[in-house]
Amino acid sequence: MNELLKLSALEIAAKVAAKEVTPTEVLEAHIARIEEVNPQLNAMVEKDFVRARKLAAEQTEILSKNHSPLPPLFGVPFTVKEMFAYQGMKRTGGSVHHKNDVMDWDATIVARLKHAGAIPMGSTNVPELGFWFETYNKVYGLTNNPYSLERTPGGSSGGEGALIGAGASPIGVGSDIGGSIRMPATFCGIFGHKPSQYLLPFTGHFPYSKEEVKTILVGDKYPYTTLGPMSRKAGDLYKMMEIMMGPDGYDQTTLAGAKLKERPKDWSKVKVVLCADPVFHTARQTDYELVQVVKNCGKLFEELGAEVIELDPRFFVRSTELWFAALKKTKNKNFFEVLKGKEEKFSVGKELFKLAFGKGRYIFPNLIVSLAEILEGSSKDSPKKLAEELQALQKMHDDLSKILGPNGILILPPHPRVAPKHREPLWSPFDFIFTGIFTTLGMPATSIPMGLNEEGIPLGVQVVANSMNDHLTLGCAELLEQTFGGWVPPKE
């Protein structure tokens, strides 16, 4: 593998600034890698190589004449989850009803990365409507894991995870409501960060326009979906966060004036809470190898002099029902209404029948969710029950916040198993709750690779902190990368 494909974004930017390599050389190395691996992965679904090459050439020309400071990501290629507005490119969300939608504007975080000198190379695959942890849709097809083609890269940022994991992109942007950044990051052996709620503007995410973000997504209707960075090297996450965070004039909920604190230098002063084998109602029990990597982290922090304690493994037992309750509170429209688009005669039963004969237009999990939603709508679930669940979610937040305190981190598995084989998630659909619960709690959470298992499949941990303590989880990612090795490129 070309050595440029093993560098962080910040290392690439430093080499470009020092004129050791040109933006064109960096871009061509990554394009060559994309062309090599994408036929097997189907991770990049919309290529933007013509414009990327033009921009890289312009930057190379600037570099030959310029002696002033350059933007922080000058000459660094990146990729974009297909659910983001990306000027001149499609934003289908994996939906057949949006397969021809081409955007004439950039999502705020995409625009900010471009302004920082980064060069977009194209967009990457997602599940239909971003709703499932298999990256598959009827527009672009199935995406495979770079460490084993028979396994899923996760979802919904699965295309990003697969491409970055393959060494074909140094950084990318994803979004996360049930673990859609952290699961693909874990399954594909890279780093992914779900920020504290309200740090990054939602503007540009499927299916909303700028005006809808400004007028509809306010108050209780603001989504739990959180945008965030993905990378093959830990140190890039912090810089990407600095570049992407802050209000944009459209998203009325994004926090103004928020800044990342400095990453810890003395880990003996950090409180470390372990939950190596958590119990989640409806989810599988954690596999032994993932329990062990959490315990390995605990041993490291003990050696560094930190206070290390255990969390009750049943602390999160009600998480699944509480996650769904939180989503009910923010729901703007029914899921099946989004799924069917403007189609008048939509029948879940007929679509399931067509799917059985290979003629369906929607993926099976989304039809099942739609059916459940329709049936639920006819039931008499009381507002009192929803209020109780939301109260229980708030208590979970408050209790965990108190345990962590101002300088604590929680380390636990990001999933009960390594990347499953294709279609296996259908038999354990609620395993996403290992990551999903922290989105509805609003807390920052970072997925960190911890090497490969005996089959060559990535292992990982998830690190969580109190809201606005992103610096702790990001700093921990850098420490664990230094100690355990971080991203390991797939075998050629």
- So which residues are the catalytic ones? 81, 156, 180
Are residues 87 and 122 in contact, defined by beta-carbon separation less than 8 angstroms? no
* Residue in the structure block whose two tokens are 């994991």: 165
Are residues 327 and 445 in contact, defined by beta-carbon separation less than 8 angstroms? no
* Residue in the structure block whose two tokens are 């306010």: 218
Say which amino acid occupies 219.
Answer: G
Residue 316 is classified by DSSP as T
Query: What CA–CA distance (Å, rounded) separates 167 from 445?
Result: 23
Nearby residues of 226 by Cβ (< 8 Å), 6 or more positions away: 175, 176, 177, 194, 195, 197, 200, 439
Query: What CA–CA distance (Å, rounded) separates 334 from 346?
Result: 13
Are residues 419 and 145 in contact, defined by beta-carbon separation less than 8 angstroms? yes
Residue 251 is classified by DSSP as -
State how far the alpha carbon of 404 is from the alpha carbons of 307, 335, 467, 477, in Å.
Answer: 11, 35, 10, 18
Helix then strand then coil, in percent of the chain rounded to 5, is: 40, 15, 45
**Degrees to nearest 5, angle at CA 187 with 23 and 264:** 70
